[in-house]
Chain A
Amino acid sequence: MKNKFIIIFLCIFSIELSAAEINNLESKIFKNLRCIVCQGQSIAESNSDFAQTIKIVVRDKIDQGDNEKEIYKFLAEKYGEWIIYKPKFNYINSLLWFSPYIVLVFGGLLILKYLRRKKN
């Protein structure tokens, strides 16, 4: 019983600490943007001219007070959804986001089925 309390305490403690997470918005956005003139690089990784320009634009937008979503929306309007690495959740992309979990749930049920057989 004592042990359980210690675990719970430590876990909660960890969560508390995580609130202090450093929020590096800029690099998070850079990593989520495709450098469309490069071969499979993100804006953060690329040395290209295009990437440098996008970096300036994103920084300006952050300074203007735009949030992450607004910046993605702005860039997606100009360059298409292709520029964003993390596809947003919408009608078209819903299967992309759901189907891995459908597989997970389905697999779990399948295993459960074989576990329960014994009771019959």
Chain B
Amino acid sequence: MLSNLGNILLFGSTFVTLSIIYFAYQNLKEKNIIIRKNIVYLSFFQITLIIASFLLLIFAFIFSDFSLLAVYQNSHTAKPVFYKIAGVWGNHEGSLLLWVNIMVIFSFLFFLFNYKFNKSFSLYTLLVQNILILGFLMFLISNSNPFFKILPVPLEGLGLNPILQDPALAIHPPLLYLGFVGSSIYFSAAMAAILSNSNGKNFASSIRIWVLISWSFQSLGIIVGSIWAYYELGWGGFWFWDPVENASLIPWFCMTALAHSVLVLEKRGYLYNWVLILSIITFISSVTGTFLVRSGILNSVHTFANDPARGMYILVFLSLMIFFSFVIFFKRKINDDFYLELISKETFILSNNWFMMFYLATVFIGTIYPIFTQVLYDTKISVGPPFYNSVIAPIIIPFLIMMAIGPKISWIKQKYNDFKSLVLILILSCIINFLIFFFFKSYNLLSNLIIISSLFLIIHSLKDFIINSKTKSYYNLPSFLSHTGFGILMLFIMLNHNFSKEYDLNIKVGETKKINNIEINFKDLKIEKRENYNVVIGNFNILDSKKNYQKNLNPEIRIYNNPQTLTFESAIKTNLQQDLYLTMSNIDGSDFYNVKFQIKPFMLWIWFAAFLTASGGLLRTFLKK
């Protein structure tokens, strides 16, 4: 019953999508300048149908309708309602429906904002976007239908992987999807701009807000995912350069570059070609990332159930998309002739793009290189954190410096005569670095330089902001927040990296171990029964004789039944200074427990700085000039 209704909604959406494509095409051929009303109605109809199908799936999950395969495989009656809902996008089929929903919503809103101004541009955008939507709808219906029925109807579901039953992970996919699926709209807009011979400035101002929105959500999604990895995966790290993380980072680099260069196009009319390229590759890289993750050709922490047919479909779709976007792009008739002054905002923004493309290239090549060696040389290699750190870290330094100076430079041309304050700030940064160095611990040259340049960025932005605030122009606030936030982020990541301490020991109940000035006491062990799992709780007491504090930490080992899984929950005590992080795991066939105790300074600041960076984008979205 539910399955039939769902299928009707999906087929209805497909039909409406087809009609939009047809009418948009017909309307484009007509000479008048007004968009036919029926296209607006159809768009409205489309968004209603697709959202209804999504709500229906949520409904099926909430009420545990196991006649749907997707619900049966990913839900369980004993699950809390919140996780039942999160289960909707915790699997391939549901997440694909969410994907299509976001494409439709963005398409609808973009159309609504633009259809009155420029007929052919809006219609072409709608046309291209709906062709993309059609592609994904067909994928959804033919291969990954969330409304697929099973007979006979099972009484109980298989349950959701417990590692996914977590508030951060519940909101992580929707945030990320708003980011990289949202980028489809400026892909379509870029195609439309070429096809309709739009003016560069108009194109820039129509996509700017969508770039900002997708950038902000992409950033938030990455941060939330990272927080989840930090406390749930139990390794104490927050970024692992895992292929799936990389797949979300690659579009983020594109969006960051685009969010900057679109300003140049809007303001000065330059870089039209470049902005088009960025708009196109953002969505292409999103789909490529999806392909890499869903096809299972990469080893990764996060795995969806793999199905080669799925990978094949996405790959064919991706190839077609690349092919047609190339054809259209090479056919463009855009005269993009300009020159830049060395010291001008344009040049600094271009240098941002330059670094972004470098990071993008590094991460992209690092992610796909193992596939290449395997196919071409039959050699399996790993490209892990040490590679990315050693390639990317040195290039962070000039990037931070440019990021500090850039915002203050004016458009077109400026005679730069502010060297004095630059030097002062640099000295100040060096001194602070030296103080950190002197009072805490030594670290290597690279760390030194990154810390100096991040301090430079922070102080420089603060100075600029204070000077600006005298003139009461708050338009710079978003970029100030993002830039300063990024500086703080880098600073604390480096401090955290250098000052983290880690203790790895095997310990029995009742034992006390002392390492340097830290005493770890394993007091006792409790076993409890909770709503949908059993749990073993360890009780640890940490005593730091030097810093004079005592903390109780209670890590858990959870035993889930549906499906049967063990998860290790870390115990974290957070304050402004540092996180105490402890995980325990049982060692088979012995009374000992393996305990990892970590002292991780400034974790809270890292999250704060990351959110600060993302908040700049959100603020800019809503701020009027």
Contacts and interface: CB of A to CB of B under 8 A. Distances in A.
Q: Do chains A and B touch in the complex (CB under 8 A)?
A: yes
Interface in B335-377: 338-342, 347, 350-351, 353-354, 357-358, 361-362, 365-366, 369, 373, 377
Interface of B: 235-237, 240, 242, 299-301, 303, 338-342, 347, 350-351, 353-354, 357-358, 361-362, 365-366, 369, 373, 377, 379-387, 390-391, 395, 420, 423-424, 426-427, 430-431, 433-434, 437, 441-445, 448, 452, 502, 568, 583, 585, 588, 594, 596
B365 A42 contact: no
B377 A104 contact: no
Given A82-B382, A85-B386, A118-B341, A4 B423 contact: yes
Contact of B365 (A96, A108, A111, A114): A96
27 contacts: A3-B420, A3-B427, A7-B423, A7-B427, A10-B434, A14-B448, A14-B452, A15-B445, A18-B443, A21-B442, A31-B386, A34-B384, A42-B385, A85-B383, A85-B384, A87-B387, A92-B377, A93-B373, A95-B369, A96-B365, A100-B362, A103-B357, A107-B357, A111-B347, A115-B341, A115-B347, A117-B338
Given A4-B423, A40-B240, A40-B301, A96 B366 contact: yes
A115 B351 CA distance: 12
A75 B32 CA distance: 72
Ordered nearest first, which 3 A-B pairs have the shortest CB separation?
Answer: A85-B384, A86-B386, A117-B339
Given A22-B442, A100-B358, A93 B381 contact: yes
Query: Chain A contact residues: over half helix, strand or loop, or mixed?
Result: helix
A80 B373 CA distance: 13
Given A3-B427, A40-B300, A100 B339 contact: no
Contacts of B424: 3
A14 B445 contact: yes
Nearest to A47: B585
Contacts of A21: 442-444
A14 B430 CA distance: 8
B445 A107 contact: no
Contacts of A40: 240, 242, 299-301
A111 B354 contact: yes
A46 to B, nearest CB: 8
Contacts of A87: 369, 381-383, 387
Interface of A: 3-4, 6-7, 10-11, 13-15, 17-18, 20-22, 27, 31-32, 34, 39-42, 45, 47, 49, 52, 80-87, 92-93, 95-97, 99-100, 103-104, 107-108, 111, 114-115, 117-118
A31 B338 CA distance: 48
A10 B431 contact: yes
Contacts of A3: 420, 423-424, 427
Nearest to B385: A85
Contact of A118 (B301, B339, B423, B433): B339
Nearest to B374: A82
Contact of B391 (A85, A100, A108, A115): A100
A11 B430 contact: yes
A91 B338 CA distance: 41
Contacts of B351: 111
A92 B379 contact: yes
Contacts of A103: 357-358, 361
Given A47-B568, A111-B354, 6 more contacts: A3-B423, A14-B430, A17-B442, A34-B382, A80-B380, A95-B365
A104 B300 contact: no
Contacts of A42: 384-385
Contacts of B391: 97, 100
A49 to B, nearest CB: 7
A27 B235 CA distance: 14
A103 B426 CA distance: 29
A80 to B, nearest CB: 6
Contacts of A104: 354, 358, 361, 395
Contact of A20 (B365, B423, B442): B442
A15 to B, nearest CB: 6
Nearest to A104: B358
A10 to B, nearest CB: 4
Nearest to B383: A87
Contacts of A13: 434
Contacts of B395: 104
A47 B366 contact: no
Contacts of A52: 594
Contacts of B583: 47
B354 A86 contact: no
Contacts of B445: 14-15, 18
Contacts of A111: 347, 350-351, 354
Contacts of A82: 380-382
Nearest to A39: B301
A7 B419 CA distance: 13
